[in-house]
Structure 1
Amino acid sequence: MVFEVIPAVDMRNGKCVQLVQGVPGSEMISLDDPGEVASGWVEQGAATLHLIDLDGAIEGVRKNAPIIEKIIHDLHPAGVSVQVGGGIRSFEDAGKLLDLGTDRIILSTAALNDPQLVKRLAEEYGGERVMVALDAKDGKVSIEGWKKQSEHTPVELGVKFESLGAGSLLFTNIDSEGLMKGIDVQPTAELVSSVNIPVVASGGVTTVEDIISLSKVGASGVVVGSALYTGKFTFQDALEAIKQNP
């Protein structure tokens, strides 16, 4: 399996933004054209894009759906893989995105509220197209745009959703997210060792050394946002680091 570095294109109110720990109003980056941003990452060599509708995740209303659909329409024919999340609350929401050509839909709140949704989607579309997001704070998984805390650990839920047919997991350490102070690889390592499906890591990546550390504990890829947008390192730096540390 080739370890992937995946640029994040997070959208709020029609703009590409980066929030600090998912808090509305904490935008450190705000760019007017998410489609242009997405195309820019592809031009730099990104094979996969991570598209998140933050309005959907936080408010439950997928305001940025038309922008996401246009990005899929423009880039998918070129062979770019796209994973989409944020506010996908129903089988119909997920199905529409998958029918449009989304490679993987990312379920979070909907999966925790209705685990059978994961099973239905996996049976209908194939498990490899269903990714479940486990966003952890203080060792427990958060939902509803990180506004509520569940009683479950990432490992407990990772094992459960694998059994229901999820083809991959997206693990975000909220304690590190957006702070650009580095990462703690241990929670990712624990999840990786507990399941047999790919785990993509996210949250707090600040240096190329963070990326290498995640690859060494068995993650299949890493989503990078703030560090790329603020110039902590370039996308090419990240790709080169992975090549030199397979």
Structure 2
Amino acid sequence: MFQIIPAVDMKGGKCVQLVQGVPGSEMVSLDDPAAAALNWVARGAKTLHLIDLDGAFEGKRKNGQIIEDIVARAKPLGIEIQIGGGIRSFEDAETLLSAGADRVILSTIAMQNPQIIREISESFGKSAVVVGLDAKNGKVAIEGWTKLSEKSPTDVGKQFEDLGAGYILFTNIDTEGLLKGVDVKPTKDLIDSVSIPVIASGGVASTDDLLKLRDAGAYGAVVGSALYTDKFTLEEAIAVLEK
């Protein structure tokens, strides 16, 4: 069943939502990320998406203690947890998976060292590996969205599937954080090019957007700004998707 996955993005110890991933553009800033995460769980979330933005931007994870706290409190409730941001080595991934994460999200390191996907997949299973493909203007973005590669998401997606990725998290930066709705085509193109599940992210502003992504074949959608700014409630989204 299609999943709606609340995002808990952390920067400087706070739960934030950025516009287009730009530092300093916070439209949401909450002092207690753990409380935010557990609020989504209480309201029906089955999976949490935890991102250390300091790690994504600087290559060094700074919100690890908060993330560990969320994992320790959410896992006993049967919640699946995927974690990303600043995972730059096998050891980083091993630490998070051993601490209870179900999946780690590899983005910059996957582009720089694709073989790490195989290494983690062989050690922890394909289901533990999510490759984060972030695209702008049809090109894959890396290093916290600060640089564009010359590769397309479909090309990279197929390559990473062959290396053992169990999921692809596809973020359309062109619509991310703008709350203007999704552009389904890039996501659909990627879904059609691979056989592993694709989780969509970027631009969701209504429950209709969720239905469009579900109908395109996405495994689920990561939703941040729309939930935090009350464009719709998590309960409303769950009800619509269950119809």
Report the TM range for the smaller structure's normalisation: over 0.9
The CA distance in 2 between the partners of 1:142 and 1:65, in whole Å, is 24
- Provide the residue aligned with 1:72 in structure 2: 71
The CA distance in 1 between the partners of 2:99 and 2:70, in whole Å, is 11
Render the CA deviation track for 1:211-236: whole Å, top value 9, x for unaligned. Answer: 00000000000000000000100001
Secondary structure, aligned partner of 1:212: helix
The CA distance in 2 between the partners of 1:57 and 1:100, in whole Å, is 20
- Provide the residue aligned with 1:183 in structure 2: 182
- Provide the residue aligned with 1:56 in structure 2: 55
Render the CA deviation track for 1:111-152: whole Å, top value 9, x for unaligned. Answer: 000000000000000011100000000000000000010111
Equivalent AA in structure 2 for residue 148 of structure 1: K
Secondary structure, aligned partner of 2:35: helix
Shift of 1:14: 0.2
TM-score (normalised: structure 2): 0.99
Shift of 1:88: 0.2
Equivalent AA in structure 2 for residue 243 of structure 1: E
Secondary structure, aligned partner of 2:88: coil
Equivalent AA in structure 1 for residue 46 of structure 2: A
- Provide the residue aligned with 2:34 in structure 1: 35
Shift of 1:78: 1.4
- Provide the residue aligned with 2:230 in structure 1: 231
Secondary structure, aligned partner of 1:232: coil
The CA distance in 2 between the partners of 1:231 and 1:74, in whole Å, is 25
TM-score (normalised: structure 1): 0.98
Shift of 1:73: 1.0
How many residues are aligned here? 243
1:124 aligns with 2:123: yes
Over the aligned positions, Cα root-mean-square deviation in angstroms equals 0.5
Secondary structure, aligned partner of 1:236: helix
Shift of 1:183: 1.0
- Provide the residue aligned with 1:153 in structure 2: 152
The CA distance in 2 between the partners of 1:229 and 1:99, in whole Å, is 30
Deviant stretches of 4+, over 3 Å: none
Equivalent AA in structure 1 for residue 187 of structure 2: T
Shift of 1:238: 0.6
The CA distance in 1 between the partners of 2:2 and 2:189, in whole Å, is 18
Shift of 1:69: 0.8
- Provide the residue aligned with 2:88 in structure 1: 89
- Provide the residue aligned with 1:218 in structure 2: 217
- Provide the residue aligned with 2:2 in structure 1: 3
The CA distance in 2 between the partners of 1:204 and 1:193, in whole Å, is 20
Render the CA deviation track for 1:162-218: whole Å, top value 9, x for unaligned. Answer: 000000000000000000011110000000011000000000100100000000000
Shift of 1:59: 1.0
The CA distance in 2 between the partners of 1:45 and 1:164, in whole Å, is 34
- Provide the residue aligned with 1:241 in structure 2: 240
- Provide the residue aligned with 1:170 in structure 2: 169
Equivalent AA in structure 2 for residue 241 of structure 1: V
**Stretches of structure 2 lacking an aligned partner (at least 5 in a row):** none
- Provide the residue aligned with 2:21 in structure 1: 22
Shift of 1:61: 1.4
The CA distance in 2 between the partners of 1:105 and 1:26, in whole Å, is 26
Shift of 1:98: 0.5
Shift of 1:241: 1.1
The CA distance in 2 between the partners of 1:35 and 1:139, in whole Å, is 34
Equivalent AA in structure 2 for residue 115 of structure 1: P
